[in-house]
A and B are shown apart, each in its own frame.
Chain A
Amino acid sequence: MQFMLLFSRQGKLRLQKWYVPLSDKEKKKITRELVQTVLARKPKMCSFLEWRDLKVVYKRYASLYFCCAIEDQDNELITLEIIHRYVELLDKYFGSVCELDIIFNFEKAYFILDEFLLGGEAQETSKKNVLKAIEQADLLQENIDFQMRLFAGSRDTAQRTGGNWTDINMVHIIIHLPPTSFICQLLYVADNNSNSPLSTLNFTVTHTHTQLCLCFLPLFRDKQCSTVWLISC
């Protein structure tokens, strides 16, 4: 398998996994082209199509399209079942998975995919074994973990608001779906009742990607703040 893409009916890319080295530009081009092609197809059509010199196998689950590109000698039907098994895994892990689960917990989706497929080949086809590995990993998650998931451009304030923290020196914030260029400003609010900002912090974005960016904020113990708002993106 050369790559796997998950995208919504609206053409928004939700997850991408590349098993061949390609430049970002190429990846974007391929994604755009393929999303258009697949979305244009009618429901009764067959799940396989020839695309460039690859074979594309896709299947739609609710609002999500799962789309794999395989090479000429690869088996189409078994690829279709790879997609299905992956969906089963997600379903089992999240408990009737929906698109939002994948948006909110995309890293879990990646971890499950890594346990199931590696280097484009099936690694472990037993559902039980894959989930066992993921659960083991989850057990190791420390409670002090503070990950903030903020959604850029979201209208829902809840999605732009982080949680409480008090005694952490360093925090990494994952911002989902960042726009291509943006200036981020964080607002510390001392007290939930008064919406007056305690202080603002402009921060730098260290790594960006089409789907997420990772920010590291130095925080000081004395700044007792309860909420973080992402105000501009």
Chain B
Amino acid sequence: MEAVNLLSSNKYTEKQIGYLFISVLVNSNSDLISLINNGIKNDLASRNPTFMNLALHCIANVGSREMAEAFASQIPSILVAGDTMDSVKQSAALCLLRLNRTSPDLVPMGEWTARVVHLLNDQHLGVVTAAASLITTLAQKSPEDFKTSISLAVARLSRIVTSASIDLQDYTYYFVAAPWLSVKLLRLLQCYPPPEDAALRSRLTECLETILNKAQEPPKSKKVQHSNAKNAVLFEAIALIIHHDSEPTLLVRACNQLGQFLQHRETNLRYLALESMCTLASSEFSHEAVKTHIDTVINALKTERDVSVRQRAVDLLYAMCDRSNAKQIVAEMLSYLENADYSIREEMVLKVAILAEKYAVDYTWYVDTILNLIRIAGDYVSEEVWYRVIQIVINQDDVQGYAAKTVFEALQAPACHENLVKVGGYILGEFGNLIAGDSRSSPLVQFNLLHSKFHLCSVPTRALLLSAYIKFINLFPEVKATIQDVLRSDSQLRNADVELQQRAIEYLRLSCIASTDILATVLEEMPPFPERESSILAKLKKKKGPGNLPDIDDTRWNVNGSAEHSEDTESTNKSPPSLMADLLPTNRPRPASSSPTLLSAGTMGSSHPFTDLLNLNSTPSAGASLLVDVLSDISTPAPITVSEDNFSRFVCKNNGVIYEDQLLQIGLKAEYRQNLGRIYVFYGNKTSTQFLSFSSSVTSSDTLKTQLNVHAKAVDPTVDGGAQLQQVVNIECLSDFTDAPVLDIQFRYGGTLQKIAVKLPVMLNKFFQPTEMTSQDFFQRWKQLGVPQQEVQTIFKAQHPMDTDVTNAKILGFGVALLIGVDPNPANFVGAGVIHTKNTQVGCLLRLEPNTQAQMYRLTLRTSRESVSQRLCDLLSDQF
């Protein structure tokens, strides 16, 4: 309060002290703010320049919203009034700038804006200096309104750079003419593209050339201030040249100038030259010129004593890297990494990993590089990096054997990093068979090698190793007994960690119970991962913030091979209960797949499929653990209730839970070949009591009997508590059909008879064989099936989010081949297939046109039989 009283004092000293305290002490929400504002208002109106300046300084220092509200409209008029003193104009300009930054919405644009631009012409260089900052900020927000500033700025700049150094008197700083103003004007010009007017443009080019020339002149003073001021202008000029990116000669000259600085004895200049070259490297005109300095930069990496300079050198190497020099740069970065500073290691690891992947000529080099990376800086290798190498190895057939061999050799080192054990465990688990032929890396040797690391590892790694072991059982039946012994040991089966314990128990049971066929299906090789942006790059981007990574062209990502869509993408988008089912496909038109199985059973649920597959930390969720139920080791209280649409959920997939109540869970796994099919029905007793007189049979309607032969094998009449029973149902399709057979189950539970009837998901589309064809073939056939009865079309509203990957997976699951690049509109989906029945074969073409705006689909089916078209259309239209 006293400070406010001081403000309204007429004595200068008291006023000054009052303002000082308000600037320093008052926070914006103080209730005194209205009193303060009143005092300021009086001073602004006082016409006493000293008082006005004090008031303006105070506003600029506090810069609160309340102040903006009170004064934003008054200050512009002070700024452009003809009779305002120069010093007040300066303060007013920067005060306005501050208010504009804190509350841009409160600063009104108006007729004053045009007059502000003309301040660039002012006699007083101080006014121009202050105004240039204001105009730059305003021009960034509304470039159109301040376009006229370009010509004024160029004119002013030209006058400064050509002036003799004494002309500007006190604005010359250590023989450099108005360096601050020059820098500000060059900044202002960076808000705009190169001037269109030819004369103006050549004048600007002349200015920039003069600045570049001056850098070559001998210094006028030995003082560091002289060179700093001169180079400040030079660097700003180079920034403008890079911003325009249109004058190749200037760009190359700039690059050469920076090249000289790279060897300058001033650390500051070396730092800035490296930083500035980073941006130059992204220009097509100067990329080559930047590359010529590679040796100097590598030398800087090795010899610079300052970590921040070395960091810049790393950035520059990253920016200048391309296919021609990738090997050299990656090798240098790797060797530097061995003794790099801890603070930049993680970022360097990411960069090496990205460069190695992006410019990999052959994948053996890539695998070597990443393994080296793990060896040298294992602690700094984040999960994304080693996920990525596995992703790539799995997607690239030709490198798998080499990768297996290399990790095997790397694992033989007496001490290896845990990340290497992870990669090793994963890769040997998948591809260990590729090197098993060599007696030095026989299955048992591989297993013993991995297991020798087991006890040194953390829980997540151990969990991963357990998964690798179960995969070994599948790959190498000869080590089954050894591995079972390991799994059976108390340290596994009674492990204090619930995840490890569960894995050990499940894997052991799986290996004991399941037949080799089931084991082979469950533990099959991983399917290729869908192509997507590298998770490493995403991480680096996150680390650096967007826009900070020059020269990253996403289309150049070429590592993932063909763009096959794995159903993992699909599964993550569905609800947990169906996940496991999706992981066990059999008749997909591509290498049947699925391997993370148990491992992923507990962990699929979040939105990042790849990470999930490897995310070993989360505990298994009840709903997802079908296999757990199937194996009946643990009776999970599954939260699923039977939904009406369970039947239709099986249209595009073959496995999953078809029915579940408190007592019984029924799971299905189906395979179809041509016109034949086989369904494995699993009855899981969820209680602890026996089911007695259990029977299940399949019945069909009379019409259906003539179309479909269904034969269910007999089953045991008792199902023990917690146990599970399997029944095989064989199916033969005679002709096309619409109905579905019904599974009748009855059993006695605690003396009461239970009856359940479940519709078996046997649909016409199960007998599809996919047909690949070219665009020409497709449309030719499409036209051939042009009779109105052959076509069925329906338009319907999307029930699920319209996701291309999910739709692709559903169409594939439907059984047809997904024809990519056939439809002229890439948003549309086109498929083709042949339905096999005993009597006939029916060719079928389908086309699905999504309309994302309306959230609608149009589905068109053309087959040679009307009834088939209709049935398929009904089946498929429910799915989206």
B50 touches A140 (CB 8 A): yes
**Cβ–Cβ < 8 Å partners of A80 in chain B:** 228, 232, 268
Distance to closest chain B CB from A171 (angstroms): 11
Is the Cβ of B13 less than 8 Å from the Cβ of A48?
no
* Chain A residues within 8 Å of chain B by Cβ, number: 57
Asked if A145 is at the interface (CB within 8 A of a chain B CB), the reply is: yes
A residues within 8 A CB of B181?
125
On whether the beta carbons of A124 and B17 are closer than 8 Å, the reply is no
Answer whether residue B447 sits at the interface, using C-beta atoms and an 8 A cutoff: no
B516 on the A face (CB < 8 A) = no
CB contact under 8 A between A125 and B12, given known A21-B28, A50-B308, A75-B235: no
Indicate with 1 or 0, residue by residue over A1-22, a CB within 8 angstroms of chain B CB atoms. Answer: 0000000000000000101110
Chain A hits for B308, CB < 8 A:
45-46, 48-50
**A63 CA to B14 CA, complexed, in Å:** 32
Residue of B nearest to A122 (CB): B180
**From A48, A110, A209, residue with most partner B Cβ within 10 Å:** A48
Evaluate contact between B94 and A119: CB separation under 8 angstroms.
yes
B1 near A206: Cβ-Cβ < 8 Å: yes
Are the C-beta atoms of B309 and A140 separated by less than 8 Å? no
In-complex Cβ contact of B101 among A45, A119, A211 (8 A): A119
A107 to B15, CA, bound (A): 13
In the complex, the answer to whether B126 meets A129 with C-beta atoms within 8 Å is: yes
Which residues of chain A have C-beta atoms less than 8 A from B171's C-beta? 125-126
Instruction: Closest A residue to B307 by CB, please name it.
Output: A45
Assess whether B828 is interfacial by the CB under 8 Å rule: no
Q: Mark B216-249, 1 if CB is under 8 A from A, else 0.
A: 0000000001001101110110010000000000
Q: Does B741 make an interface contact (CB < 8 A)?
A: no
Contact B16 A45 (CB under 8 A): no
- If A118-B98, A119-B101 touch, does A21 touch B129 (CB 8 Å cutoff)? no
Those of A49-104 within 8 Å (CB) of chain B: 49-50, 53, 73, 75-78, 80-82, 84-85
Kindly provide the distance from the CB of B835 to the nearest chain A CB, expressed in whole angstroms. Answer: 60
Bound-complex Cα distance A95 to B217 (A): 35
B306 and A45: CB pair below 8 A? Answer: yes
Q: Chain B at the A interface: mostly helix, strand, loop or mixed?
A: helix
* Those of B68-98 within 8 Å (CB) of chain A: 87, 90-91, 94-95, 97-98
Q: Does A196 belong to the interface (CB within 8 Å)?
A: no
- Which residue of A73, A85, A172 contacts B17 across the interface (Cβ within 8 Å)? A172
Cα A137 to Cα B27 in complex, Å, equals 26
Q: A128 contacts which chain B residues (CB < 8 A)?
A: 170
CB pair A119–B98 under 8 Å, yes or no, is: yes
Question: Do B170 and A142 touch across chains, with their CB atoms under 8 A apart?
Answer: no
The interface residues of chain A lying within 8 Å CB-to-CB of B618 are none
- A130-164 CB mask vs B (1 if < 8 Å, else 0) is 00010011001110010100000000000000000
Min CB–CB distance B129 → chain A (angstroms): 6
Q: How far is the CA of A107 from the CA of B54 in the complex (A)?
A: 13
Pick from A42, A76, A123: contact of B91, CB under 8 Å: A123
Q: Within the complex, which residue of B21, B27, B28 is in contact with A214, where a contact is CB–CB below 8 Å? A: B21
Q: Is the CB of B60 within 8 A of A48?
A: no
CB-CB under 8 A for A141 and B229, given A44-B305, A45-B267, A216-B2: no
Closest-CB distance, A1 to chain B (whole angstroms): 10
Please tell me if B532 contacts chain A, counting CB pairs below 8 Å: no
Asked, given contacts A45-B306, A107-B17, A118-B60, whether A77 binds B2 with beta carbons under 8 Å apart, the answer is no
Does B173 contact A81, Cβ atoms closer than 8 Å? yes
Residue of B nearest to A50 (CB): B308
Once the chains bind, are B63 and A46 in contact (CB under 8 Å)?
A: no
Q: How far is the CA of A140 from the CA of B271 in the complex (A)?
A: 47
Quick check: B98 and A120 within 8 Å, CB to CB? yes
B81 to chain A, nearest CB (A): 18
**Could you list some 13 contacts between A and B, CB below 8 A?**
A45-B305, A46-B267, A50-B311, A76-B235, A84-B225, A122-B129, A123-B91, A124-B87, A125-B125, A126-B171, A128-B170, A142-B12, A214-B2
List chain A positions with a Cβ less than 8 A from chain B. Answer: 17, 19-21, 24, 42, 44-50, 53, 73, 75-78, 80-82, 84-85, 107, 110-111, 114, 118-129, 133, 136-137, 140-142, 145, 147, 172, 206-209, 211-212, 214, 216
Given contacts A53-B545, A75-B232, A147-B17, 14 further A-B contacts (CB under 8 A): A21-B28, A46-B271, A76-B232, A76-B272, A78-B232, A82-B180, A118-B90, A118-B130, A119-B63, A121-B130, A125-B126, A125-B180, A142-B12, A214-B3
Interface of B with A (CB < 8 Å)? 1-3, 6, 11-14, 16-17, 20-21, 23-25, 27-28, 50, 53, 56-57, 60-61, 63-64, 87, 90-91, 94-95, 97-98, 101-102, 125-126, 129-130, 133, 169-171, 173, 178-181, 183-184, 187, 190, 225, 228-229, 231-233, 235-236, 239, 267-268, 270-272, 305-306, 308-309, 311, 545
